[in-house]
Amino acid sequence: MGLSILTRMIPLSRTCAGALVLCASVACAQSGSLAVTVTDNEGRAVPDAVVVAVPNDASAMAGARPRAEHLDQIDKEFVPRVKPVFVGSTVSFPNKDSVRHHVYSFSPAKRFELPLYAGESAAPVLFDKPGVVVLGCNIHDWMIGYIYVSESPFFAKTDADGRATIADVPARAYTVRVWHPQLQDGEDATRRPVDVVAGKRADMAWKVALKPEVRVRRAPMAGHGSHY
């Protein structure tokens, strides 16, 4: 009898698998991708730029799920320096250094503080409001990191070559914008409309003006004793 159940289940599992493949194919056939390049005014690639595609029709975001993310502290730096997350995600902050860190943010999108801790003892933080969250460490002034909380699940971050790809974007109209920690003219100035066509890739390029980076210098200075 067990064998007969098994023999009936095999075609059933094949059917389920086939249905899944069919659904995925349909979904792929109904989605496209966005390939983005970001450069500065001198034509140099801009890494760590966050590209966000917001659908004009909010129903495209139905079913999007927040995720559990993490942002490490390695060699007394936040790694990665820029972390985009979908609104509603939690982010944990594992400390992989031999020193303790005291992570904090005063940004309106999320104010929080993780008092001195080592390892993975700090509880994850929920980021439930869109916006930019600037992170610091109360011990190491030069440590700075950014969490970009996106209201859209369709986002990506540029790599060292200034390129990013947002895959599996449902075919419809979007407004795409770019953010970077040193962006001079503001995120709103970068908005552009795009129509994503099923099965096709839309190429977009931005040229942005960047301000000089302002952060506390980490390198030591030479001290000098008294000569009296």
Partner 1 sequence: MEPASPLHFPFARRNVVWARPASTRRRSAAASRAAALALVCAAALARAQTFDAGVEIAHDSNVTRGQLPEDVLHDSYVDAHAAWTWRRDLTDFDTLDAGVTMRGGQYARYTRLSYAAVDGTLAWRRKLGVGLTEPWLGASATLSYEDYREDVRDSSRLELRVEAGRRFTESLDASIGYVFDRRYASRETPDLVPGISGTVWNLQGNAVFARMGYAWSDRWQSDIGYNVRRGDVVATTHRNLPIFLASDAIAESRAFGPDFFDYRLRGTTQAASATLSYAIDDRSSFNVVYAYALTRAAQGLEYRSNLVSAAWAYRY
Site residues for partner 1 per CB under 8 A? 98-100, 102, 104, 106, 113, 115-116, 136, 138-139, 141, 212-222, 224, 226-228
Q: How far is the CB of 170 from partner 1 (least distance, A)?
A: 41
Phi, psi (5° rounding) for residue 199?
75, 5
Q: How far is the CB of 223 from partner 1 (least distance, A)?
A: 8
Q: Are strands 192-195 and 50-55 parallel, antiparallel or unpaired?
A: unpaired
Q: How far is the CB of 210 from partner 1 (least distance, A)?
A: 13
User: Of the two residues 113 and 128, which places its CB atom closer to partner 1 in the complex?
Assistant: 113
Q: How far is the CB of 81 from partner 1 (least distance, A)?
A: 13
User: Of the two residues 201 and 211, which places its CB atom closer to partner 1 in the complex?
Assistant: 211
User: Of the two residues 93 and 174, which places its CB atom closer to partner 1 in the complex?
Assistant: 93
| Coil, helix or strand at residue 38 | strand
How far apart, in whole angstroms, are the C-alpha atoms of residue 24 and residue 13?
Answer: 16
User: Of the two residues 85 and 143, which places its CB atom closer to partner 1 in the complex?
Assistant: 143
Q: How far is the CB of 191 from partner 1 (least distance, A)?
A: 29
Phi, psi (5° rounding) for residue 121?
-80, -15
User: Of the two residues 75 and 188, which places its CB atom closer to partner 1 in the complex?
Assistant: 75
Q: Are 65 and 42 in contact (CB under 8 A)?
A: no
| Percent helix, strand and coil across the chain, each to the nearest 5 | 15, 45, 40
User: Of the two residues 100 and 157, which places its CB atom closer to partner 1 in the complex?
Assistant: 100
How far apart, in whole angstroms, are the C-alpha atoms of residue 45 and residue 173?
Answer: 27
Characterize 6-16 residue by residue with b for buried, 16 or more Cβ atoms within 10 angstroms of its Cβ, and e for exposed.
eeeeeeeeeee
Q: How far is the CB of 83 from partner 1 (least distance, A)?
A: 20
CA R_g for the chain: 23
